[in-house]
Structure 1
Amino acid sequence: MNYQFKILSNEELEKIVPLVYELNNAKISLDILKSRFNEMKDQNYECAVITIDEDVIGVAGMWFCTRHYMGKSVELDHVYIQSEHRGNGLGKQFMAWVNTYVKEKGCNSIELNTYVQNYPSHKFYYNEGFQVLGYHFLKKI
């Protein structure tokens, strides 16, 4: 397959909504996701994608910031590759591309959260050199 990695322009963010919808098991409506991504355009957010031709089959949201304990950092969010494209090393290639991209932007570290029950992702990220630093807490208000 002819996979390509690139940064999606803010004007094209709606293209990733179906993938994030899949990732969240349809727990958040398409309309809410579209609205939220529209807001995210102005919040230090960029989106890396994997495409075949012009079809988006993988996504990794990136939040850029400076952390007191690490310096310039990126937090990966909603990392997802469609199931039919997994198991062939594509995720490893995508992470290598993301690593190069964020290093060129001056980042010292990459952080991410993954759901506790998503065991395949834990193995993947350990194999990519990630370490568990702490717990992610959430309180809805």
Structure 2
Amino acid sequence: MAYTFEILETEKIELVIPLVYKLNNGKIDKAVLMERFSDMITYNNYECAVIYDGSKLIGVTGLWFCTRHYSGKSVEPDHVFIDENYRGKGLGKQFFEWIYNYVKDKGCEAVELNTYVSNAASHKFYFNEDFKILGFHFLKKLKK
């Protein structure tokens, strides 16, 4: 099968909401996700990469670009998700190869990411992609 990898136009950002909703197991309301994505697309350092099977959107990741003192210009794939029916077929590897080439062309020297502790399948994938564990990601929710 031929899949299409591309950067999603910002005016189509609502298309990724169902996939990101699944990624979070429905724990974040779709309206909240839409509000957050509407904000995210306004930043100059965010792009949304997607996978299409024909006209069907089957995969997504955000790409956050920055420069870090320890790694130089880098990109952080965020909210990586591929539809369950397309997993285990090498599509993730193809998607990341496309991402590596895309971000190298933009001058990136490194790729770094976070993944949920409970997502063991993603850990295996990233180890196979030669990612190394550099540290821990901490989160503190601020009270309103």
Query: How high is the sequence identity, in percent, across the aligned residues?
Result: 60
| 2:115 alignment partner, SS class | coil
C-alpha distance in 2, partners of 1:74/1:54?
Answer: 27
Counterpart of 1:3? 3
Counterpart of 1:20? 20
In structure 2, give the amino acid aligned to 1:51: Y
In structure 2, give the amino acid aligned to 1:54: S
| 2:112 alignment partner, SS class | strand
Counterpart of 1:104? 105
Q: Any idea what the Cα deviations from partners look like across 1:68-124, whole Å, max 9, x if unmatched?
A: 111111011000100100111111001000000000000010010001111110000
Moved over 4 A (4+): none
| 1:2 alignment partner, SS class | coil
C-alpha distance in 1, partners of 2:136/2:85?
Answer: 31
C-alpha distance in 2, partners of 1:8/1:64?
Answer: 16
- The answer on 1:54 being equivalent to 2:20 is no
C-alpha distance in 2, partners of 1:87/1:111?
Answer: 22
State the 1:2 CA deviation: 2.6
C-alpha distance in 1, partners of 2:64/2:78?
Answer: 8
The runs of 5 or more residues in structure 1 that have no matched partner are none
The runs of 5 or more residues in structure 2 that have no matched partner are none
State the 1:51 CA deviation: 0.2
Counterpart of 2:30? 30
TM-score (norm 1): 0.98
State the 1:55 CA deviation: 1.5
Counterpart of 2:95? 94
C-alpha distance in 2, partners of 1:41/1:24?
Answer: 19
